[in-house]
């Protein structure tokens, strides 16, 4: 299942379970808590001293199609057609160690257990214990478990054994970017191309989400199938945006485009119009079969255009459906770092591109990221949280993501 399909289900389960007063705390664990891009099944942990009531409430959820097992402190159900949800009810003294254990990843947990053994401890889902005396050292909270092992608490998104344990030992964990720090959405489509909302509808939705700006990035002309904009229509759209901005209070619509990168790496619209835009996303939408050298040169040529702000969905993958194009990302990142061009984290649920690993690599090259939902309808803007999840898994801090800037600072930063 895509993460984007799972998060609303989690919200639904949590809201339903919280109505039961035996539920003192409830959280998802497993890969969903780590915000992995795909989730196999769902683990839910509940802190309670009255487990039977909690289990009873759980099996009676409206969307349960089948109860696979029901015990005193655990239950497994199927929601809808085939989403398996496992519930575990945990007593207070072990809640932290259970949450830590069931969050994973496996590799992260193995490394933690190794550290515990070296300190003369035993770590499992029930707590952290002294090996000799069996005395409980920690377990009530995750923080207490990590602290007893000599580590700072580690954000769930980082728990993949990619250096986070070493960073926690040395006190150099990143301060990850947070959802509430994102001030704008930098990739929005409208009725002008293949979206379903007007510019104003997209702006209203963004305001309702607490955002301060959006960048309208409709398709350019070679995307005929998407009613892409030629120069004349783009100029008309820019005039409409200017008019709208005069009316909007405390909110700004940025003039942008998602311009096609053609097979030779040139762009689908001339510099004479690109130079008048606030934000230019350059993307590949065709010719995916080219070899690595051609694809890499094509993208690097686009990066060298003076008006490109960010590269849209840079690897072209569609989760579970299309593999990334053949690209030498190291070379692409080197060129982008040199030119001051950003990489997009496209937050559309089946894209999440750059992914976490590539976003971390881009950060290591000194590249800033832009997050855009690629919204084609107003409610698609709610996918911003998925982009933030990828950024967090990629170790990104607020300073690595341009959307954390207020609009005036953003525009200053974009003047290359």
3-state helix, strand, coil in the chain (%, to 5): 40, 20, 40
Structure tokens given for 233? 């229509």
The confidence score (pLDDT) of residue 136 equals 98
Structure tokens given for 280? 């230019």
pLDDT digits 0-9 by tens, 75-108? 999 999 999 999 999 999 999 999 999 999 999 9
Distance CA 291, CA 328 (A): 10
Distance CA 272, CA 307 (A): 10
Our measurement of the distance from residue 136's CA atom to the centroid of its chain's CA atoms, rounded to an integer in Å, reads 37
DSSP readout, 59-93?
HT-TTEEEEEEE-SSEEEEEETTTEEEEEEEE-GG
The confidence score (pLDDT) of residue 225 equals 80
Structural domains of the chain in order of their starting residue, each with its CATH number: 3-90 (3.30.460.10), 94-169 (3.30.210.10), 180-414 (3.20.20.140)
384-393 and 3-18 helices cross at what angle (nearest 10)? Answer: 100
Structure tokens given for 249? 């209070």
pLDDT digits 0-9 by tens, 311-350? 999 999 999 999 999 999 999 999 999 999 999 999 999 9
Q: Is the pLDDT of residue 223 over 90?
A: no
| φ/ψ of residue 236, rounded to 5 | -65, -45
Q: Quick one: residue 41, left, alpha or beta (phi over 0 = left, psi -120 to 50 = alpha)?
A: beta
Distance CA 23, CA 242 (A): 51
Distance CA 411, CA 405 (A): 9
DSSP readout, 89-153?
EE-GGGHHHHHHHHH--HHHHHHHHHHHHHTTEEEETTEEEETTT--EEE-SSHHHHHHHTT---
Name residue, tokens 């942008």. Answer: 256
pLDDT digits 0-9 by tens, 113-166? 999 999 999 999 999 999 999 999 999 999 999 999 999 999 999 999 999 999
The confidence score (pLDDT) of residue 226 equals 76
Distance CA 359, CA 379 (A): 25
Specify burial of residue 210 (Cβ count, 10 A radius: 0-12, 13-18, 19+).
Answer: exposed
DSSP 369: E
Q: Are 44 and 75 a contacting pair, CB within 8 Å?
A: no
410 pLDDT band, cuts 50/70/90, is: very high
The confidence score (pLDDT) of residue 416 equals 64
DSSP 324: P
Q: Please name the helix (run of DSSP H) or strand (run of DSSP E) that holds residue 185, with its range, or none.
A: strand 184-188
pLDDT digits 0-9 by tens, 168-212? 999 999 999 999 999 999 999 999 999 999 999 999 999 999 999
DSSP readout, 248-312?
-SS-EEEEEEEEEB-TTS-BSS-HHHHTT-SEEEEE--S-TTS-HHHHHHHHHHHHTSTT--EES
- Share of residues in the chain with pLDDT > 70 (%): 100
Q: Please name the helix (run of DSSP H) or strand (run of DSSP E) that holds residue 47, with its range, or none.
A: strand 42-47
Q: Is the pLDDT of residue 294 over 70?
A: yes
- The pLDDT of 264-287, averaged and rounded, is 98
């Amino acid at each position: 299942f895509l993460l984007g399909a799972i998060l609303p289900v989690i919200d639904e389960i949590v809201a339903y379970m919280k109505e039961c007063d035996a539920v003192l705390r409830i959280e998802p664990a497993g890969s969903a808590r780590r915000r992995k891009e795909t989730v196999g099944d769902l683990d839910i942990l509940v802190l309670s001293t009255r487990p039977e009531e909690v289990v009873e409430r759980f099996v009676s959820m409206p969307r349960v199609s089948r109860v696979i097992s029901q015990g005193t402190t655990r239950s497994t159900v199927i929601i809808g057609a085939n989403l398996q949800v496992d519930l575990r009810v945990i007593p207070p003294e072990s809640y932290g160690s259970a949450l830590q254990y069931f969050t994973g990843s496996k590799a992260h947990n193995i490394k933690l257990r190794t550290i515990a053994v070296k300190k003369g401890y035993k770590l499992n889902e029930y707590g952290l214990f002294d090996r000799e005396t069996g005395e409980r050292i920690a377990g009530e909270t995750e923080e207490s478990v990590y602290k007893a092992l000599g580590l700072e608490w580690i954000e769930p998104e980082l728990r993949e054994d990619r250096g986070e344990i070493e960073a926690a030992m040395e006190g150099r964990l990143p301060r990850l970017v947070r959802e509430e720090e994102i001030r704008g959405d930098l990739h929005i489509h409208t009725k002008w191309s293949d979206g379903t909302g007007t510019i104003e509808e997209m702006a209203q939705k963004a305001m309702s989400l607490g955002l301060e700006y959006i960048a309208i990035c409709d398709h350019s002309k070679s995307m005929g199938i998407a009613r892409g904009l030629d120069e004349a229509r783009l100029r008309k759209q820019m005039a409409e945006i200017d008019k709208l901005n005069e009316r909007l209070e405390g909110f700004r619509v940025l003039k942008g485009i998602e311009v096609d990168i053609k097979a030779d790496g040139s762009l689908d619209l001339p510099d004479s119009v690109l130079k008048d835009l606030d934000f230019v996303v350059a993307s590949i939408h065709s010719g995916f079969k080219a070899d690595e050298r051609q694809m890499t040169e094509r993208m690097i040529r686009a990066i060298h255009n003076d008006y490109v702000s960010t590269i849209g969905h840079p690897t072209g993958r569609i989760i579970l459906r299309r593999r990334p194009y053949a690209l030498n990302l190291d070379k692409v990142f080197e060129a982008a770092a040199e030119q001051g061009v950003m990489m997009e984290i496209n937050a559309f649920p089946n894209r999440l591109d750059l992914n976490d690993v590539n976003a971390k690599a881009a950060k290591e090259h000194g590249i800033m990221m832009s997050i855009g939902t690629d919204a084609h309808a107003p409610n698609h803007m709610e996918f911003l949280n998925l982009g933030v999840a990828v950024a967090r898994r990629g170790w990104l801090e607020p300073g690595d993501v341009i959307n954390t800037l207020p609009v005036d600072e953003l525009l200053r930063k974009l003047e290359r």
